[in-house]
Chains A and B, each alone.
Chain A
Amino acid sequence: MNIVVLVKQVPDTESPRKLKSDDSTLDRAAADGVINELDEYAIEEGLRIKEAQGGEVTVLTMGPGKATESIRKALAMGADKAVHVLDDALAGSDALQTSYALQQVLGRTGFDLVVLGSESTDARTGVLAAMLAERLGVPQLSLANKVEIDGQSIKIQRQTDYGYDRVEATLPAVVSVVEKINEPRYPSFKGIMAAKKKPVETLGVADAGIDAAQVGLAAAATEVVDFAEAPPRAQGQIVTDEGDGGVKVAEFLASKKFV
Chain B
Amino acid sequence: MAEILVLVDHVDGEIKKVALELLTLANRLGEAAAVWVGPGYEGAKDKLAEYGAQKVYVAADEELTSYVVAPRAALLAQLVGEKSPGAVLVSATGEGKEIAGRLAVKIGSGVLTDVVDVADGFVAEHSIFGGGIIAHAKVKTGTPVIAVRPNSIAPEAAPATPAEEQVTVTLSDTDKAAKITEKVIEEKGERPDLTEAAIVVSGGRGVGGAENFKLIEGLADSLGAAVGASRAATDAGWYPHQFQVGQTGKTVSPQLYIAVGISGAIQHRAGMQTSKTIVAINKDAEAPIFELVDYGVVGDLFQVAPQLTEEITKRK
> Chain A residues in contact with chain B, CB under 8 A?
13-14, 17-19, 24, 37-38, 94-96, 99, 118, 121-122, 124-131, 133-135, 137-143, 145, 157-170, 173, 178-180, 220-230, 233-234, 236-241, 243-250, 252-254, 256, 258-259
A234 to B304, CA, bound (A): 24
Q: Contact partner of B105 among A134, A237, A246, CB < 8 A?
A: A134
From the candidates A157, A166, A222, name the one contacting B110 in the complex (CB within 8 A): A222
Across the interface, A240 reaches (CB within 8 A) one of B135, B182, B186, B298, namely B298
Query: CA of A142 to CA of B94 in the docked complex: distance in angstroms?
Result: 9
Q: Which residues of A contact B101 (CB under 8 A)?
A: 95, 99, 125-131, 134
A139 vs B247: C-alpha distance when bound (angstroms): 27
Known: A167-B181, A221-B104, A236-B294. 4 other contacts (CB 8 A): A131-B102, A133-B102, A134-B73, A224-B137
Q: Are B299 and A240 in contact (CB under 8 A)?
A: yes
Q: Are A227 and B140 in contact (CB under 8 A)?
A: no
* Number of A-B pairs, beta carbon distance below 8 Å: 290
What sequence of 0s and 1s flags, for each residue 100-138 of chain B, a beta carbon within 8 Å of any chain A beta carbon? Answer: 111011101111111000000001000111111111111
* Chain B residues with CB below 8 A from A238, complex form: 285, 290, 293, 295-298
| A24 B135 Cβ-Cβ under 8 A | yes
- What's the least CB distance linking B265 to chain A, in Å? 8
**CA–CA, A163 and B188, complex, Å:** 9
Name the segment of B23-31, B37-45, B159-167, B171-179 touching the other chain.
B171-179
Q: Is B99 an interface residue (CB 8 A)?
A: yes
Q: Which of B54-62, B78-86, B193-201 contacts A (4 or more CB under 8 A)?
A: B193-201
Choice from B98, B114, B136, B199 contacting A130 with Cβ under 8 Å: B98
Once bound together, how far apart are the Cα atoms of A142 and B96, in whole Å? 12
Centre residue among B131, B134, B194 by max chain A CB count within 10 A: B134
Q: Check if B297 sits within 8 Å of A245, measured CB to CB.
A: yes
Q: Are the C-beta atoms of A222 and B180 separated by less than 8 Å? A: no
Contact assessment for B114 and A247 in the assembled complex, using a CB-CB cutoff below 8 Å: no
B interface bracket (residues with beta carbon within 8 Å of A): 35 or more
Central interface residue in B98, B138, B270, B298, by most chain A CB within 10 Å: B98
Distance, CA A223 to CA B112, complexed state (A): 10
Q: Min CB distance, A23 to chain B, in Å?
A: 13
Given contacts A240-B285, A246-B310, A259-B315, A127 and B98 within 8 Å (CB-CB): yes
User: Which chain B residues border A24 with CB–CB below 8 Å?
Assistant: 135
Q: Is the CB of B248 within 8 A of A121?
A: yes
Q: Which of A95, A145, A170, A229 contacts B111 (CB 8 A)?
A: A95
Identify the closest chain A residue to B305 (Cβ): A246
Residue contact A227 to B134, C-beta cutoff 8 Å: yes
16 contacts between A and B (CB under 8 A): A38-B248, A96-B109, A124-B247, A133-B102, A140-B98, A140-B178, A165-B180, A169-B179, A221-B141, A222-B141, A224-B135, A224-B136, A227-B134, A240-B298, A250-B311, A252-B294
- Closest approach, in angstroms, between the C-beta of B114 and any C-beta of chain A? 6
Q: Let me know if A230 and B132 touch, CB within 8 A.
A: yes
Nearest CB of A to B146, in Å: 10
Which residue of chain B has its CB nearest to the CB of A227? B135
> Contacts A130-B102, A140-B98, A163-B185; is A237 near B111 (CB within 8 Å)?
no
- A138, A161, A178, A236: which contacts B193 (Cβ < 8 A)? A161
Collect the chain B residues with CB atoms within 8 Å of residue A178's CB: 241
Interface string of B1-12 (1 = CB under 8 A from A): 000000000010
Measured CA separation A161–B82 after assembly (Å): 32
Interchain CA distance A145-B240 in the complex, whole Å: 12
Contact B298 A168 (CB under 8 A): no
In the bound complex, how far is the Cα of B109 from the Cα of A24, in angstroms? 20
Chain B residues closer than 8 Å to A256, beta-carbon distance: 256, 277
Interface string of B177-214 (1 = CB under 8 A from A): 11111111110100001110001000000000000000
Contact of A125 among B97, B294, B311 (CB under 8 A): B97
Chain A, Cβ-Cβ closest to B74: A134
Residue of chain B at shortest CB distance from A125: B113
Complex Cα gap A234–B296 (Å): 13
Q: B227-251 vs A: 1/0 string, CB under 8 Å? A: 0000000100000011010011101
A227 to B127, CA, bound (A): 10
In contact, B277 and A250 (Cβ under 8 angstroms): no
Given that A134-B106, A135-B105, A250-B312 are contacting pairs, would A227 and B178 also be in contact in the complex, using a CB cutoff of 8 Å?
A: no
Which residues from B are CB-within-8-Å of A226?
135-136
Distance between B76 CB and nearest chain A CB, rounded to angstroms: 12
Tell me the complex Cα distance, A160–B65, Å.
14
Judge whether A253 and B279 touch: CB under 8 Å. Answer: yes
Closest B residue to A225 by beta carbon equals: B136
Contact A19 B248 (CB under 8 A): no
User: Chain B nearest CB: distance from A259 CB in Å?
Assistant: 5
Q: What CA separation (Å) do A157 and B277 show in the bound complex?
A: 35
Whether B138 lies near A225 (C-beta < 8 A) is yes
Chain A residues contacting B299 (CB-CB under 8 Å) are: 240-241, 245
Q: How far is the CA of A126 from the CA of B98 in the complex (A)?
A: 7
Task: Tell me how far the C-beta of B275 lies from the nearest C-beta in chain A, rounded to whole angstroms.
Answer: 10
CB distance A247 to B311 under 8 Å? Answer: yes
Q: Known interface pairs A96-B104, A250-B311, A252-B295. Does A167 touch B135 (Cβ–Cβ under 8 Å)?
A: no
